[in-house]
Structure 1
Amino acid sequence: MDTTLPGPGPHWRPRAVVFDCDGVLMDTESAWARVQAQVAESFGVTLDERAGTSLMGLSAADVARDISRRAAAVAEQRGEPAPGFDAVYERLVRTEEDVVGEVLEPLPGAIETVRACAQRVPVAVASNSTRGILDRKMHAIGLADVVVTWVSAQDVPRGKPAPDIYEEAARRLGVEPADALAVEDSPAGTAAAVAAGLWVLGVPHGHDEPITSHFRAESLADPAVGDMLRVWGLPL
């Protein structure tokens, strides 16, 4: 069940907006899930639905740690050497480059919403993607010209659900976290933004996993987003 937190006062207006990427701006999460399953299988691990859900929204490093832990247990049962973290991480990143690169299309409402916000306040993207993949994504969907900065999981000590990525995004934009709006879809992402002190618009886009946010819409194509932006002085 989703959790709605108390929002800011009626006169609050965002001085910056920070968007998640996967599941908010583009539909790459299903491809990322295929990457995880493919890499896990290559190390003798089968990810069931529950395991896949637990990895949703995590960074490549955190996913690699989980898969390497599972692979070590399999290897021990077989009496084989366990694969190290580095081997799993490198294969995960290489596979992601091949698979995710095929599906770099924006989600409905994404381009319009980002560009509307960017006309009035600085905009950033905060993603658990690796730096190289995030660069490709930003240029592929045509937002690199209006987004001030994008922060990857490789730019901070810890990925989501830790607050580091959102703290760094606010720092780069020159605003206090409490003056910024985060737009997120996953439990890990909303937890990261809330922990960093941003106000959070949750857009689960049909996901069943519960999220915690201050505001809620189904996606960036939801008319409720336009209504909120108009109230905040960021009309579409």
Structure 2
Amino acid sequence: MKPSLPAPPADWRPTAAVFDCDGVLMDTETAWAGVQEQVCADYDVAFGEASLKELMGLSAADVARWITDRAAEAAAEKGREGPDPDEVYEHLIEVEASVVSGILEPLPGALETVRAFAERMPVAVASNSTAQVLHRKVHALGLEGTITTWVSSDDVTHGKPAPDIYREAVRRLGVEPGQALAIEDSPAGTTAASRAGLWVLGVPNGHDEPLSSHFIADSLADPRVREFMTGWGL
């Protein structure tokens, strides 16, 4: 896979870094897919590979809306009333909390990379997770004393792929978007970061979905990440 966006000027250097969490720092993507599948089944909504790709990287609120809409369609066909959107969202969060809490392990290279950046610049984590779940993830990784801040979908009006989360992250870090590097693995995340004006390092971690990125590496364990950092004088 190659970067889909042109690289920044040769003399560009990041002065802040913003990491996505799921699929970048920890392997919760498989568990999250299982959560979505379980909740879809609970509301008689079909869930398959196409659904998984459509929902990849979206916030819990957006996923809950997606499930609610399809559950309502299925209910209408049977002459029934669809589920309450708030009920679907709350059920999704409950299932996520119970599933994700058991698999909070860092991906290879994740902690080393975050710490290497944090030694040289302010660092944030920007995630479509809810505030409660993201707090648990950051503390499970032991990063609460390393990073400057973390931004959840509860902190902004719209989750990824809207740019809100990344705009809030760089605001808290006190830098302009063009000074910051975003590290993302999903189409929704790379779109959010690029729309916010950040330069984007895509780390697909094994999936082949197209990413809106200026740099590309297989994962944070890929030697290319260290090569990029060396080139930026880090």
Q: Do both proteins adopt the same fold according to a TM-score greater than 0.5, normalized to the shorter chain?
A: yes
Equivalent in the alignment of 1:156: 156
The verdict on how the C-alpha distance between 1:222 and 1:3 changes in structure 2, with shifts beyond 3 A counting, is closer
Identity rate of aligned residues, in percent? Answer: 63
State the shift of 1:142 in Å: 1.0
Query: Which letter maps to 1:94?
Result: E
Equivalent in the alignment of 1:65: 65
State the shift of 1:36 in Å: 0.5
* Aligned residues of 1:3 and 1:210 also touching (Cα < 8 A): no
Please give the per-residue CA displacement for 1:95-150, whole angstroms capped at 9, x wherever unaligned. Answer: 00000111100000000000000000000000000000000000001111111000
Q: Distance in 2 between matches of 1:142 and 1:99?
A: 20
* Aligned residues of 1:2 and 1:210 also touching (Cα < 8 A): no
Q: Distance in 1 between matches of 2:125 and 2:33?
A: 21
Equivalent in the alignment of 1:166: 166
Matched, 1:56 2:56: yes
Equivalent in the alignment of 1:138: 138
TM-score of the aligned structures, taking structure 1 as reference length = 0.97
* Aligned residues of 1:164 and 1:196 also touching (Cα < 8 A): yes
Q: Distance in 2 between matches of 1:93 and 1:143?
A: 23
Q: Secondary structure at the match of 2:210?
A: coil
Q: Distance in 2 between matches of 1:204 and 1:52?
A: 15
Q: Distance in 2 between matches of 1:221 and 1:231?
A: 17
Q: Secondary structure at the match of 1:178?
A: helix
Equivalent in the alignment of 1:90: 90
Query: Which letter maps to 1:88?
Result: V
State the shift of 1:198 in Å: 0.1
Equivalent in the alignment of 2:214: 214
* Aligned residues of 2:3 and 2:215 also touching (Cα < 8 A): no
Instruction: Give unpaired runs (5+ residues) of structure 2.
Output: none
Q: Distance in 1 between matches of 2:22 and 2:101?
A: 13
Q: Distance in 2 between matches of 1:233 and 1:134?
A: 31
Q: Secondary structure at the match of 1:81?
A: coil
Q: Distance in 1 between matches of 2:232 and 2:183?
A: 14
Q: Distance in 1 between matches of 2:4 and 2:233?
A: 23
Runs of 4+ in 1 over 4 A off after TM superposition: none
Equivalent in the alignment of 1:76: 76
State the shift of 1:232 in Å: 1.3
Please give the per-residue CA displacement for 1:11-45, whole angstroms capped at 9, x wherever unaligned. Answer: 11101000000000000011001000101110111
Equivalent in the alignment of 1:37: 37
Equivalent in the alignment of 1:188: 188
Q: Distance in 2 between matches of 1:233 and 1:24?
A: 23
Number of corresponding residues: 234
Q: Distance in 1 between matches of 2:174 and 2:59?
A: 25
Q: Distance in 2 between matches of 1:15 and 1:197?
A: 14
Q: Distance in 2 between matches of 1:21 and 1:11?
A: 28
State the shift of 1:84 in Å: 1.6
* Aligned residues of 1:27 and 1:105 also touching (Cα < 8 A): yes
* Aligned residues of 2:26 and 2:107 also touching (Cα < 8 A): yes
Equivalent in the alignment of 1:5: 5
State the shift of 1:233 in Å: 2.2
Query: Which letter maps to 2:27?
Result: D
Q: Distance in 2 between matches of 1:124 and 1:162?
A: 18
